[in-house]
A and B are shown apart, each in its own frame.
Chain A
């Protein structure tokens, strides 16, 4: 199984390197948020910390938007009969989703680093250790969103269905993270819902880490929650592949 993951991971990386354009594309949206939206917050929350508070949110945004789109690649592969052909061989079923998900994690961390570089150029100053730990959290978010996308794709087995599921997931996830406006402004019931959103805790943890506030309770909570959920979605995705070739 480890050998299969290694072989398939190398294969995925080769495929991504052949089409590097798409990798860059994934960061365009968060970059736009950073460049066009963060300055607005500056006016709203004077004091110069707006960019530092917004950047973790932008990182979570890439995890969400680029992570949820990976399922389309899996569907293309399903249509072309690639999954079925692989499944008729002795390859580990888990490797069929784990390898691409690992590639997605690496891509996401790379995209996050790019975004952090841009934020630094824009004048953001953050705790270096905090930033490094945030990247670990981003990697876990990447595993979560990619395996969720694979599971949804293999369960729906339909591009339109996947697009609708993604759109439905995207809006509440985005609004209930406090990326755009702080959740402190929200009424109690809305805050209660946000507390059930793992991305909300990830953004909170990222902000605390960037500020160098390592004792903040949101950090272990976000890490545990994200990792735990990622393992569940990974399992779901593996089950869906198995069902494909019962």
Chain B
């Protein structure tokens, strides 16, 4: 058996639209998620993250492509797939008519646990997520953060091998977000594979063992956060120059041997360099010799945003 828990090739999804062009939400996505890792799908709004996850969770049929999820063919054996996965949607899926605990117990029982096992499992999960105190309140009265944690507990009720989390931390305050990250790492350490979507750079960077950056329904880059950032090259020097000097400055930067790549415009020229600490003084000297004016200059390590920027020409911050 392979150690891949998700193996998707050429996934596509086209939504027909009444009176209009069909929407190509996903245009050929290949994904490999290993058993027991946290895999991130990072991309701006409308990139196709939710659609990809919904296809992998058997909720919508792909227009083209195929996938094996948790050891079973997505199209031929959807039921087997459903038995092995957990799915927490952007909406959460907590039933507000009953208590949080009843939600978790029902989810466990529908997956075949006995009443006693389900009760024990629910108590265990509620303890882990610090929900015991609010477990028997009507779910209607829970705060957003509590509801998110209940959603996660519901998704984990049957100890799935793989859990899909669609934007799990949207709407959480920083403290809850940090706690949530800790819980996700705990899941991975317990052997559960996690496929999560996010449009937060820091989240993908901090949490994902590996990730795929998606844009307009395509994977534009994939690898570990470290690999991806190295591929952009180590550091980024950003310069602000008067609009008139943007052209010559850009040419000058590109001519330096230690500059691997140049991007951006006068408002923010970016020079990608291997070792920023030694490149910066050299660059300053070259600028002076070239007689160009620089209004501001800064040096920073490459982020995933630089990866996105290089692949798409846009910043994830602007795109999202």
Contacts and interface: CB of A to CB of B under 8 A. Distances in A.
Given A11-B102, A15-B98, A88 B58 contact: yes
Contact of B90 (A76, A77, A81, A90): A81
A87 B94 CA distance: 13
Interface string B88-119: 11111111111000100011011110000000
B118 to A, nearest CB: 10
A75 to B, nearest CB: 13
Interface in A211-246: 245-246
A87 B60 CA distance: 11
Contact of B59 (A11, A15, A88): A88
Interface in A69-88: 73, 76-77, 79-82, 84-88
B138 interface: yes
Contacts of B58: 88, 245
A114 to B, nearest CB: 22
B106 A90 contact: no
B87 interface: yes
Interface stretch (B77-85, B212-220, B222-230, B233-241): B77-85
Contacts, number: 81
A43 interface: no
B304 interface: no
A89 B61 CA distance: 15
A169 interface: no
Contacts of B109: 7
Given A18-B138, A245-B60, A84 B93 contact: yes
A205 to B, nearest CB: 34
A11 B107 contact: no
B57 interface: yes
Contacts of A245: 58-60
Nearest to B115: A7
B125 to A, nearest CB: 15
Interface string B53-86: 0000111110000000000000000010011011
Provide the main secondary structure of the chain A interface. helix
Contact of B95 (A77, A88, A89, A246): A77
A4 B112 CA distance: 10
Nearest to B58: A88
A15 B154 CA distance: 17
A87 B59 contact: yes
A21 to B, nearest CB: 13
B88 A18 contact: no
Nearest to B166: A81
A193 B185 CA distance: 65
Nearest to A14: B98
A19 B106 contact: no
A4 B110 contact: yes
A16 B98 CA distance: 9
B95 A82 contact: yes
B79 to A, nearest CB: 6
A245 B87 CA distance: 13
Interface in B13-67: 57-61
Contact of B154 (A16, A79, A85): A85
Contact of A79 (B59, B91, B112): B91
A90 B83 contact: yes
Contacts of A84: 59, 87, 89, 91, 93
A28 interface: no
Nearest to B86: A88
A18 B85 CA distance: 31
Contact of B110 (A14, A73, A91): A91
Contacts of A73: 97
Please give me the 4 A-B residue pairs with the lowest Cβ-Cβ distance, nearest first: A81-B91, A85-B93, A15-B97, A88-B87
Interface of A: 4, 7-8, 11, 14-16, 18-19, 73, 76-77, 79-82, 84-91, 245-246
